[in-house]
């Protein structure tokens, strides 16, 4: 190809150029209206002796409208093809060659066919309309590498820059492509598609090659000729043969180029290949393998990010807040892996558009339904079965995706041996997802997400724990122009639990709790120029909490109905975020968020004497507020700063500083998210939590960005985090401020990670050193904990090493192996014993003075795909594996009880042995 091009130049120089010296005797006149190239050529050939040669395919989008009067052919073509990709050449045999696309062709005429002075093409009308950009109905769809796509109305001037924007979609499913990198090489300008698959790039006018890289698609490029601002939608091909390769990040250099620190993105393919308990692909368990993320134990999908509590994570499923992301007390996460596209965890630099939680934001992004045809998947596992259906509602315009999972493990519980402690336990849960994507037109899209998860289980006790998440959200996205994009989202999120006990007819009860929030927010992205992007928006949330209802169950029950006063509040925020590339190497991300919290009536508020613990003894009175009365307002700014300096192409340094405010608190007498936890709004007696974090990181890639390494350190402070007084009662306590006190906390750590993204053997290895310490040293606030010294929090686990790996044996078989080690979590243990009330009793140590044995677990799994023929009706695959391969009895907690005259210590493990699993999935 290259060789041919040189021959062509040579041909032009040697043959064509001398021919130009002489004036062609044959001139052209006429009024040509909307002719295609063939018609136009025929007209010329009929008027002159010229013979015109061209490739029909290259010119199929050309229309000629021209009025000429006695002009030489070269002038006509000069005028006609000016600033287009088309060129012509005339040889001495009067043969005219029309070509298109090669830059050399576009340049040659301007150099070689400079119009003679004084010769003017006296034409008024438009000369060329290129249909490939003319259609106003929609932006062109670029789907091949070989064509040149022309953007904008052709102008003679290629000075300055223009904005190119559009959507990227998968040409197979019509699904939008999120997080795909689009860049040109020289000068190096790039961006990535946002959560709607939308991109906007400001480039110098002229011809460019757009390079496109993203997970799950083939690396590709598109050639463009940019004249003016314009739209170009990109259809990209999925990588069909890919056998679940570990890809943790969309862009191979994202870790170097992103300004933000501590951001982890994982796509569902990776999540699915990590062995999980019972073979259920588990979104949240994978999060736990990331550096800086820990949990208190196995039965808790509640997680702790960089020393934060489990309630300090904002968990969003398509913008809906999920309050309890787990099933069956935390053994499974409540996200159906079949409808999830990817997850993003922000543990350090939290974008200004998010707020309300101190530690992290976990975005779980749902997939869009297939826009082209109806497809589905079904899965059979030991514990759950799944069915998912997706497809177009209107082809290429709107689609739906429906997913459901349910368990049928009650029979399993009944199979247990008689002495097993959970024999006869009842387990029941399900979740349902429905998402609809509707493209109204090129500028407007509407998205609907509905989510429901439900649990009803007991642990062989006579109390049944039931809980539910219910979410619905509607999002409208509008493209104002190539630079401004806006979304408006409204939704309702609800979490509730309903526990009931049938124990003893007179004391049978129902215990209910509910939190509900109504959200409304708008977000705008403004692409000021290629180096500066602005995000801004507003949000408001109305919280409504039903803190507890304790009611009799059955006619014989003597339980007095106790219904606690509801509470409500409004949390609002306005934010502005900026991303500024100062130089190609230095980028800044700086934002500010101002949040305000209004605690609203009706409510009775207790008042306490100042400077004494909030105890019933110190109660001085109470005030009753009416409906909607403003009881208390808290407000303040939050800053979000991040900077990145790329020392070289594959080495960068980042730093960041954040402050955050949290106005709602989860109160729990256990360390995991459990079905009796309640959420409490800040009120005059309970202050909001405040946290700030400073972090610093180094990022270096090796071997053509196939190996990524990173090192991050952070230091974090917490203020007014709640801890519990000894033996405090949380559930159904109308004066909950009596049961808690404020602590001060600090957390710091180092996170190291090495990832290999490609190749037969891939995965990641991470090491985390982290500490989380709390302090209660104010005697006026209540009892001093550990004499007012810093004490480790319940989830302080200093050392943590995790390996996630995948080995692709063949295109159909891959093998996964995980290993994780961490320091045991702190516990309070007996340091002595005493005799009281007829038994020996344990005398406990200082809070969290001791630790449970260290945690270690390895898992393996083998993933076998049926085959990869694209056109068969169903695809199926098997997952076989073993969880906790070494059978180590990892302690979840330890406890000590008096059995007769003895104090006995026990450690409790959720999985006491190796757990084999088997999973079958079918795709249709």
DSSP characters for 854-911? PEEEEEEEEEEE----TTSS-EEEEEEEEESTT-----SEEEEEEETTEEEEEEE-S-
With the C-alpha atoms ordered 737, 743, 744, 748, is the resulting torsion angle positive or negative? negative
Pick 84 or 502: Cβ nearer another protein: 502
CA distances from 500 to 556, 670, 864 (A): 15, 19, 44
How big is the CA angle at 155 (ends 149 and 158), to the nearest 5 degrees? Answer: 80
| Residue found under tokens 């000729």 | 225
Cβ 755 to another protein shortest distance, Å: 33
CA distances from 584 to 587, 647, 683 (A): 7, 10, 47
Task: Report the DSSP beta bridge partners of residue 333.
Answer: 326
The residues in 129-188 that bind another protein, with binding defined as CB under 8 A, are: none
Binding of another protein by 424 (CB under 8 A) = no
Pick 432 or 864: Cβ nearer another protein: 864
Cβ 616 to another protein shortest distance, Å: 10
What x-and-dash track marks residues 277-296 binding another protein by CB under 8 A?
-x------------------
Pick 466 or 656: Cβ nearer another protein: 466
**Per-residue b or e along 280-292, where b marks 16 or more CB atoms closer than 10 Å to that residue's CB:** bbbbbbbbbbbbb
| Residue found under tokens 């694209």 | 870
What's the CA gap between 405 and 335, in Å, rounded?
9
Q: What is the C-alpha radius of gyration for the chain, rounded to an integer number of angstroms?
A: 33
| Residue found under tokens 């509407």 | 446
Cβ 834 to another protein shortest distance, Å: 4
Binding of another protein by 408 (CB under 8 A) = no
Cβ 494 to another protein shortest distance, Å: 23
Pick 821 or 896: Cβ nearer another protein: 896
Does residue 113 contact residue 150 with C-beta atoms inside 8 Å?
A: no
Binding of another protein by 908 (CB under 8 A) = yes
The residues in 527-566 that bind another protein, with binding defined as CB under 8 A, are: 550, 558-560, 562
What x-and-dash track marks residues 760-799 binding another protein by CB under 8 A?
----------------------------------x-----
Cβ 827 to another protein shortest distance, Å: 8
Q: Which are the contacts of 411, defined by CB distance < 8 A and separation ≥ 6?
A: none
Binding of another protein by 898 (CB under 8 A) = yes
Does residue 650 contact residue 705 with C-beta atoms inside 8 Å?
A: yes
Q: What is the 3-state secondary structure (H, E, C) of 337-349?
A: HHHEEEEEEECCC
Cβ 380 to another protein shortest distance, Å: 9
Cβ 387 to another protein shortest distance, Å: 19
Judged on CB neighbours under 10 Å (0-12, 13-18, 19+), 178 is buried
The residues in 560-599 that bind another protein, with binding defined as CB under 8 A, are: 560, 562
In the chain, the largest separation of any two C-alpha atoms, in whole Å, equals: 125
Helix (H, G, I), strand (E, B) or coil at 737: helix
Cβ 245 to another protein shortest distance, Å: 28
Does residue 508 contact residue 494 with C-beta atoms inside 8 Å?
A: no
The residues in 321-380 that bind another protein, with binding defined as CB under 8 A, are: 329
Among 116, 415, 440, 585, contact with another protein (rule: CB under 8 A): 415
Name the DSSP letter for residue 837. Answer: T
Helix (H, G, I), strand (E, B) or coil at 414: helix
Cβ 540 to another protein shortest distance, Å: 35
Among 421, 583, 627, 871, contact with another protein (rule: CB under 8 A): 421
Stretch of 74-82, 494-502, 519-527, 901-909 lying at the interface with another protein (CB under 8 A): 901-909
Cβ 872 to another protein shortest distance, Å: 20
Pick 241 or 837: Cβ nearer another protein: 837
Name the DSSP letter for residue 506. Answer: G
Among 127, 170, 270, 894, contact with another protein (rule: CB under 8 A): 894
Helix (H, G, I), strand (E, B) or coil at 88: strand
Number of residues that bind another protein (CB under 8 A): 82
Binding of another protein by 905 (CB under 8 A) = yes
Pick 18 or 912: Cβ nearer another protein: 912
The residues in 812-851 that bind another protein, with binding defined as CB under 8 A, are: 827-839, 841-845, 847, 850
What x-and-dash track marks residues 660-679 binding another protein by CB under 8 A?
---------xxxx-xxx---
Q: Give the residue ranges of DSSP H helices in 274-431.
A: 283-287, 410-415
Cβ 888 to another protein shortest distance, Å: 11
Cβ 692 to another protein shortest distance, Å: 28
Outline where DSSP puts E strands in 502-531: 509-529
What's the CA gap between 640 and 657, in Å, rounded?
6
What x-and-dash track marks residues 506-525 binding another protein by CB under 8 A?
xx------------------
The residues in 473-512 that bind another protein, with binding defined as CB under 8 A, are: 504, 506-507
Pick 422 or 480: Cβ nearer another protein: 422
What's the CA gap between 773 and 750, in Å, rounded?
15
Cβ 828 to another protein shortest distance, Å: 5
Binding of another protein by 922 (CB under 8 A) = no
The residues in 724-743 that bind another protein, with binding defined as CB under 8 A, are: 724-727
What x-and-dash track marks residues 873-892 binding another protein by CB under 8 A?
----------------x-xx
Among 408, 422, 480, 702, contact with another protein (rule: CB under 8 A): 422
What's the CA gap between 510 and 496, in Å, rounded?
13
Q: Which are the contacts of 486, defined by CB distance < 8 A and separation ≥ 6?
A: 477, 478, 480, 522, 523, 524, 525
Pick 331 or 343: Cβ nearer another protein: 331
Stretch of 125-133, 175-183, 483-491, 899-907 lying at the interface with another protein (CB under 8 A): 899-907
Helices 2-11 and 103-112 pack at an angle, to 10 degrees, of: 20
Does residue 530 contact residue 700 with C-beta atoms inside 8 Å?
A: no
Structure token pair of residue 377: 């998947």
Binding of another protein by 907 (CB under 8 A) = yes
Cβ 610 to another protein shortest distance, Å: 23
Among 11, 53, 906, 924, contact with another protein (rule: CB under 8 A): 906
Binding of another protein by 418 (CB under 8 A) = no
Cβ 506 to another protein shortest distance, Å: 6
Pick 399 or 458: Cβ nearer another protein: 458
Pick 637 or 887: Cβ nearer another protein: 887
Cβ 271 to another protein shortest distance, Å: 22
Pick 401 or 672: Cβ nearer another protein: 672
What's the CA gap between 633 and 628, in Å, rounded?
13
Binding of another protein by 918 (CB under 8 A) = yes
Cβ 181 to another protein shortest distance, Å: 43
The residues in 73-102 that bind another protein, with binding defined as CB under 8 A, are: none
Cβ 509 to another protein shortest distance, Å: 8
Does residue 893 contact residue 907 with C-beta atoms inside 8 Å?
A: yes
Judged on CB neighbours under 10 Å (0-12, 13-18, 19+), 694 is middle
Does residue 426 contact residue 461 with C-beta atoms inside 8 Å?
A: no
Pick 594 or 844: Cβ nearer another protein: 844
């Amino acid at each position: 190809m290259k060789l041919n091009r040189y021959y062509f130049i040579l041909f032009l120089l040697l043959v064509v150029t001398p021919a130009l010296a002489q004036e062609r005797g044959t001139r052209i006149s006429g009024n040509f209206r909307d002719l295609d190239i063939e018609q136009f050529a025929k007209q010329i050939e009929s008027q002159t002796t010229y013979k015109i040669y061209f490739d029909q395919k290259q010119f199929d989008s050309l229309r000629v409208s021209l009025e000429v009067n006695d002009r030489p052919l070269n002038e006509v073509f000069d005028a006609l093809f000016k600033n287009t990709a088309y060129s012509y050449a005339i040889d001495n045999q009067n043969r005219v060659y029309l070509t298109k696309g090669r830059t050399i062709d576009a340049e040659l005429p301007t150099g070689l066919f400079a119009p003679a002075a004084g010769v003017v093409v006296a034409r008024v009308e438009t000369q060329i309309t290129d249909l490939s950009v003319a259609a106003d109905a929609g932006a062109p769809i670029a789907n091949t590498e070989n064509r040149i796509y022309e953007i904008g109305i052709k102008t003679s001037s290629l000075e300055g820059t223009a904005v190119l924007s559009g959507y990227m979609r998968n040409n197979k499913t019509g699904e939008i492509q999120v997080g795909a990198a689009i860049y040109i090489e020289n000068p190096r300008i790039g961006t990535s598609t946002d959560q709607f698959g939308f991109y906007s790039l400001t480039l110098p006018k002229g011809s460019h090659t757009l390079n496109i890289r993203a997970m799950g698609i083939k690396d590709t490029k598109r050639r463009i000729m940019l004249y003016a601002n314009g739209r170009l939608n990109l259809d990209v091909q999925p990588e069909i043969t890919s056998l679940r390769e570990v890809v943790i990040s969309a862009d191979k250099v994202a870790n170097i180029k992103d300004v933000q620190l501590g951001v982890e993105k994982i796509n569902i393919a990776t999540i699915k290949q990590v062995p999980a308990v019972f073979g259920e692909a588990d979104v949240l368990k994978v999060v736990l393998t990331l550096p800086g993320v820990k949990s208190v134990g196995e039965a808790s999908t509640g997680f702790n990010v960089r020393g934060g509590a489990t309630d300090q994570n904002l968990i969003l499923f398509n913008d809906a807040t999920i309050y309890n992301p787990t099933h069956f007390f935390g053994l499974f996460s409540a996200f159906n892996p079949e409808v999830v596209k990817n997850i993003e965890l922000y543990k350090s630099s939290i974008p200004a558009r998010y707020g309300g939680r101190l530690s992290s934001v976990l975005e779980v992004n749902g997939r869009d339904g297939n826009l082209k045809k109806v497809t589905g998947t079904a899965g059979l596992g030991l514990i759950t079965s799944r069915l998912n259906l997706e497809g177009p509602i209107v082809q290429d315009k709107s689609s739906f995706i429906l997913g459901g999972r349910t368990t049928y493990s009650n029979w399993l519980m009944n199979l247990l041996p008689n002495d097993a402690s959970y024999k006869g336990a009842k387990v029941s849960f399900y979740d349902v997802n429905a998402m609809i994507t509707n493209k109204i037109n090129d500028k407007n899209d509407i998205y609907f997400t509905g989510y429901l998860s439900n649990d009803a289980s007991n642990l062989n006790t006579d109390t049944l724990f039931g809980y539910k998440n219910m979410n619905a959200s509607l999002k409208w996205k509008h493209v104002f122009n190539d630079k401004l994009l806006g979304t408006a989202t409204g939704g309702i999120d609800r979490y509730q639990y309903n526990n009931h006990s049938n124990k003893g007819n007179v004391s049978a009860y129902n215990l209910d709790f509910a939190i509900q929030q109504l959200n409304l927010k708008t977000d705008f992205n403004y692409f000021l120029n290629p180096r500066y992007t602005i995000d801004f928006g507003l949000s408001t949330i109305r919280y409504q909490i039903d803190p507890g209802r304790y009611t009799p169950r059955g006619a014989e029950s003597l339980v007095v109905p106790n219904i606690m006063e509801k509470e409500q509040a409004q949390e609002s925020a306005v934010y502005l975020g900026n991303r500024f590339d100062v130089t190609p190497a230095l980028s800044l991300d700086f934002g500010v968020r101002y949040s305000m919290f209004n605690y609203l009536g009706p409510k009775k508020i207790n008042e306490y004497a100042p400077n004494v613990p909030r105890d019933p003894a110190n109660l001085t009175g109470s005030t009753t507020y009416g409906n909607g009365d403003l009881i208390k307002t808290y407000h303040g700014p939050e800053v979000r700063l991040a900077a990145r300096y790329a020392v070289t192409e594959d080495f960068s340094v980042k730093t960041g500083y954040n402050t955050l405010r949290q106005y709602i608190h989860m109160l729990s007498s256990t360390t995991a998210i459990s079905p009796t936890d309640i959420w409490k709004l800040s009120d005059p007696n309970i202050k909001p939590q405040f946290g700030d974090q400073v972090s610093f990181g180094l990022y270096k890639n090796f071997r053509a960005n196939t190996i990524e390494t990173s090192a991050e350190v952070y230091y974090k402070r917490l203020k007014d985090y709640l801890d519990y007084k000894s033996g405090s009662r949380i559930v159904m306590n109308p004066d909950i401020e009596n049961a808690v006190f404020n602590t001060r906390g600090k957390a710091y750590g180092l996170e190291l990670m090495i990832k290999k993204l490609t190749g037969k053997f891939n995965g990641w290895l991470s090491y985390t050193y982290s500490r989380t310490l709390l302090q209660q040293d104010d005697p006026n606030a209540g009892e001093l904990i550990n004499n007012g010294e810093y004490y480790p929090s319940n989830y302080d686990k200093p050392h943590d090493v995790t390996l996630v790996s995948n080995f692709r044996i063949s295109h159909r078989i891959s093998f996964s192996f995980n290993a994780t080690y961490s320091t045991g979590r702190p516990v309070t243990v007996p340091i002595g014993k005493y005799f009281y009330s007829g038994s020996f009793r344990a005398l406990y140590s200082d809070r969290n003075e001791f630790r449970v044995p260290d945690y270690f677990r390895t898992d393996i799994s083998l993933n076998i795909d049926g085959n990869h023929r694209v056109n068969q009706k169903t695809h199926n695959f098997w997952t076989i594996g073993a969880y906790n391969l070494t059978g180590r009895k990892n302690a979840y907690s330890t406890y000590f009880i008096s059995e007769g005259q003895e104090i006995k210590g026990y450690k409790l493990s959720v999985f006491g042995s190796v757990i084999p699993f088997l999973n079958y999935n079918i795709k249709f």
